[in-house]
Structure 1
Amino acid sequence: MKLSILIPLYNKEKYIERCFKSLLTQDLSPDEYEVIVVDDGSKDAGAAIVQEYSEKNTNIQLIKQKNQGPSAARNKCLAAATGDYVYFLDADDYLAINVLKSLIGLAEQNKLEILEFNTKQIPEGSELIEESSTKNTKDLVVKVKDGISYVADYSFRNEAWRYIVKRNLLLTKDIKFIEGTLYEDAIFTASLFLNADRMAKVNMDIHRYIVVENSIVTSKDRAHNLKFIKGMINAIEHFHGLIENLDTSHSDYTKVVKNLKGRQQALVFALIIRTLKFRLLSFDELKEILMKLKTLGAYPIDPKIGGVGQGKTAQFYNMTFVPIFNNKSCLYLGMGLMKIMP
């Protein structure tokens, strides 16, 4: 088995069939890849749709569990996987047609543990883009790097659907999704990349990311946003641990430390923005969090490290918001003003 496509499913009946249609129009034979779906206690007909597909396609497997969150579902998918490579795909996204054979071929030929590729962002309700814009894969350049050099040169995006990964790497390094928290993709991806010996990024059009309204990322719900705050703190802690465990003798050590610290600062900035915008925390709660972040070296925000915005946006943030956020008196005053505003 060359590839296991792993899909956590929760209340996605509107999208799962579109996802499956893209997976069944690939240029791998059914005995070369499998699709494993873990239904995480869905309350809609999504699991029933998957069941219908599994009855007609021997390489599709449905596993059901009580609601435990996407990380638990992904981990259960991984436990059931048998492919040499695994790919974590979201149920509301899809792939371009006939791209997997070339993708797996590149990974195998170059003996890669991780291969990253391109995605296209598509608003919900827009016309499907089924054809890949990559026509001649023979001309693609594959530069193999170890994980630390890769992060130093390319940085990384958080999402696990941006790359395929050798299943054996996950098993030998015991890397799984942390359950019960948000920002699990960021922690998983950083941990994975920094443990890789051979990885690459290829300019190949593979994935379609659908911007879904009222998703957990765009939700304004207070409870969800409190989970985001806790998830940010957890991610900042894990990035601190990754920094502590980095090989100090590596030639790109300093660049990667700066990158990870920049990630921490981006999370701190986002945490404070959410706190103000949604009136989420009390003064004492925020004070306790900031003290913890200081011990992790993530607060106050240091503009020289970066991570907060890009280009002119970064310059604007660092001249306006960052000085306010770094000054606790100004920050608490802002909290007070936000709480009395409609």
Structure 2
Amino acid sequence: MTVKVSVVIAVYNPGKYVEDCIGALLRQSLPQDEFEVFFVNDGSTDDTPARLDRLAAEYPHIHVIHQESSGWSGRPRNTGTRAARGEYVMFADHDDWLGDEALERMYDYGKENDADVVVGKMAGIGRPVPQELFRINRPRATVETAPLIDSLTPHKMFRRDFLNEHGIVFKEGKRRLEDHVFVVEAYLRAKSVAVLSDYLCYYHIARDDGSNAGFQRFDPVGYFNNLREALDVVEELTEPGPVRDQLYSRWLRNEMVERLRGRRLLKLPEEYAQELYREIRGVVTERFGPGVFARVAPTQRVIAGLVAAGLYDDIRALAEWESGIRPAGRLTSLAWEDGSLKVGFSAEYQVGGVPMTFRRDDGQDGQDGRDLLDLPLSDAARAALEAQGISLRAPVAKSDVDLVIRFRENATQFYLPLTSERHRIDTGDDGVFRQEITARAVIDPETAAGGVPLGKGIWDLHLRIKSCGWNKEVRLGAVRDGEVERTRTAALTGEPRRLVLPYWTDGPGNLSLDVDHQTNKLEREAVAWTDPAAGTVEGSSVRLPLPLHLAPAGGEPVQLRFERRNVGTYPALAEADGRTVSAPLPLEQLVGRRWAVRIGMPSAARGEPRWTRLPVDVLVDAKGAARVIDRKSVPLWRKLARRLKRALTNLQKTN
């Protein structure tokens, strides 16, 4: 059997973190005789080598190569690639893991599109990953048609013959950004790059001990010398002009400007921060011109201009101001319509707890008016920026929001369809305004996960605001209008039916969805319901208020049962009409006793109802007359018996 994929994993002292990686490889849907794994042990000193040797002895498709420590991941990756026999080579880190169908799906997608490189959708758990790149599938992407340059980690699939043909290998030794050099060369030489976005292929993990190699503080001189090597590859394989400028802007944006912004700069020791700034300025003044500056966001362009002008104090002052920027959202509506949950919200940026403002310059001498960033810059900084042709224009007309639904278990996320409007709000000061965006998003539980149903579990809602170079995220729901709680309802959706329950998280009160009884939130809703008097009995039927509003109303397949310990359980098929449920009472079986009431909601995962006790009981007297009572109520005779028992106990103690 031809080996389709060779997985290469550089290993150095991963400890317990390698277990998730191993488990994911053993769960792959691709048959074991169609892929192979090479763990390249780069001089580990923990017990990992013995663990991997035992694994390889048990599984013929898993191999271990031991070598002396090289100090970084480039050499072990090259060692694994030379040993590989697969049509494609997939690189993974020892503390990350693959989706269970990742190898099969990525290989098939690569073959279908004759791709030299296959980029699978990534999730970052505790660390950032690209967002825009994975909005849609991109079967034949290039650096010109897709934001490939946003993803320069090597956790991708590369056609092995393609790597060999062009001699693409990792730079070796203890160094930074060797993956940038490797990946950008592959992008620029590939005849086709396929981006698979409808399945989560790779989980990029931040260790809870903070020991990921990429998180460690680096030597600025060595780091930016290594960065120049990536720029050299771009210079070799592109012509001067827009494409090269666009590619260069990725390093200006991510590796330089963003390191000099807000809290990221302020948390660094001052001596180290200034050394970092000096090395960044060296690259900026050597390699980047106005064409590169023009391809970053307005606020990033301002900082790049301050770097070029040598104005470190202004960069520091701007970082102090930016450290106070927070995204803010207000949930304004929440209601089910036609089987979908409609979510209304507003969003804006705040600085120091008050809305961010912009300035309107009405223009002079026949010039058009402009919206301007209201930044705390010195006169010298403003003059330096003007001399470089860097405007403080604020493109507020391009501001926008996204609402993302994210699976709490593994950070899988999907963008929700929405419509939005931008609003300019005059603050009362001459020419000063704030901007608010209002939006309405749609959550269809049967299609929200990239066209398929949301899986059983907890799904959190995250609001992302994009404006003028700020791109920040915040949970939605903690700030909400008063009417939202009244309209917050649950629904039974799909076939087979399952409960989708919007709820407020503990503490902040953010909005999340519990899909198919993942938690006991329904029971907590029932406990919170305190209106048993609303329950009625008419003839031989009982009508009870539900602990939550079911939507859409009518005809929902719910059940009731009346139960008493050591006596029996009597079920009844119920009809729900939104806020109440009705069911026949089996009075002949219930006569003369008090009965607990449970409601059974359907569960697709269980295949049978999930039962929740309601805060009411049904009391049927000896004549068959029934009434609904608070389950916490205690009969008078029982209260008297308890008092008598306490009195006797106290009397015995005194004697």
- Partner SS for 2:37: strand
Tell whether the 8 Å contact from 1:17 to 1:49 is kept in structure 2 after alignment. Answer: no
* Equivalent position of 1:187 in the other structure: 181
* Equivalent position of 1:25 in the other structure: 27
Task: Verify: 1:233 aligned to 2:216, yes or no.
Answer: no
Shift of 1:143: 2.6
Tell whether the 8 Å contact from 1:35 to 1:60 is kept in structure 2 after alignment. Answer: yes
Task: Verify: 1:40 aligned to 2:42, yes or no.
Answer: yes
Over 3 Å counting, the alpha-carbon distance change for 1:63 and 1:286 in structure 2 is: same
Over 3 Å counting, the alpha-carbon distance change for 1:151 and 1:9 in structure 2 is: farther
* Equivalent position of 2:114 in the other structure: 111
Tell whether the 8 Å contact from 2:10 to 2:40 is kept in structure 1 after alignment. Answer: yes
If each structure's strand is expressed as a fraction of its own residues, which one has the higher value? 2
* Equivalent position of 2:380 in the other structure: none
Name the amino acid aligned to 1:207.
Answer: Y
Task: Verify: 1:176 aligned to 2:179, yes or no.
Answer: no
* TM-score for the superposition, normalised by structure 1: 0.76
Q: Distance in 2 between matches of 1:317 and 1:6?
A: 37
Name the amino acid aligned to 2:152.
Answer: N
Q: Distance in 2 between matches of 1:322 and 1:282?
A: 16
- Partner SS for 1:14: helix
* Equivalent position of 2:154 in the other structure: 160
Q: Distance in 2 between matches of 1:291 and 1:232?
A: 9
* Equivalent position of 1:207 in the other structure: 202
* TM-score for the superposition, normalised by structure 2: 0.41
Q: Distance in 2 between matches of 1:240 and 1:26?
A: 37
Over 3 Å counting, the alpha-carbon distance change for 1:24 and 1:43 in structure 2 is: same
Tell whether the 8 Å contact from 1:283 to 1:332 is kept in structure 2 after alignment. Answer: no
Shift of 1:75: 1.1
Task: Verify: 1:216 aligned to 2:213, yes or no.
Answer: yes
For residues 192-215 of structure 1, give each alpha carbon's deviation from its aligned partner in whole angstroms, at most 9, with x where no partner exists.
100101221122221111122422
**Higher Cα radius of gyration:** 2
Match for residue 250 of structure 2 among 241, 245, 263 = 263
Tell whether the 8 Å contact from 1:229 to 1:271 is kept in structure 2 after alignment. Answer: no
Q: Map of 1:1-342 to 2, 5 A cutoff?
A: 1-68=3-70, 69-123=72-126, 143-145=139-141, 149-156=142-149, 157-161=151-155, 163-179=156-172, 180-203=174-197, 204-213=199-208, 214=210, 215-219=212-216, 224-226=217-219, 229-235=221-227, 237-248=228-239, 254-266=241-253, 267-269=255-257, 277-279=268-270, 290-291=281-282, 293-297=284-288, 303-306=293-296, 314-319=297-302, 321-328=303-310, 330=312
Q: Distance in 2 between matches of 1:302 and 1:141?
A: 28
Over 3 Å counting, the alpha-carbon distance change for 1:59 and 1:302 in structure 2 is: closer
Name the amino acid aligned to 1:326.
Answer: A
Tell whether the 8 Å contact from 1:119 to 1:205 is kept in structure 2 after alignment. Answer: yes
Q: Distance in 2 between matches of 1:191 and 1:20?
A: 30
Q: Distance in 1 between matches of 2:271 and 2:166?
A: 37
- Partner SS for 1:89: strand
Q: Distance in 2 between matches of 1:301 and 1:328?
A: 19
Over 3 Å counting, the alpha-carbon distance change for 1:305 and 1:82 in structure 2 is: same
Shift of 1:247: 4.7
Q: Distance in 2 between matches of 1:35 and 1:9?
A: 12
Shift of 1:108: 1.7
Tell whether the 8 Å contact from 1:93 to 1:208 is kept in structure 2 after alignment. Answer: yes
- Partner SS for 1:48: helix
Shift of 1:106: 1.9
If each structure's helix is expressed as a fraction of its own residues, which one has the higher value? 1
Over 3 Å counting, the alpha-carbon distance change for 1:32 and 1:280 in structure 2 is: farther
Over 3 Å counting, the alpha-carbon distance change for 1:332 and 1:234 in structure 2 is: farther
Instruction: Work out the percentage of aligned pairs sharing the same amino acid.
Output: 22
What is the number of equivalent residue pairs in this alignment? 298
Tell whether the 8 Å contact from 1:152 to 1:259 is kept in structure 2 after alignment. Answer: no
Runs of 5+ consecutive residues of structure 2 not aligned to the other structure: 128-135, 317-655
Q: Distance in 2 between matches of 1:28 and 1:332?
A: 55
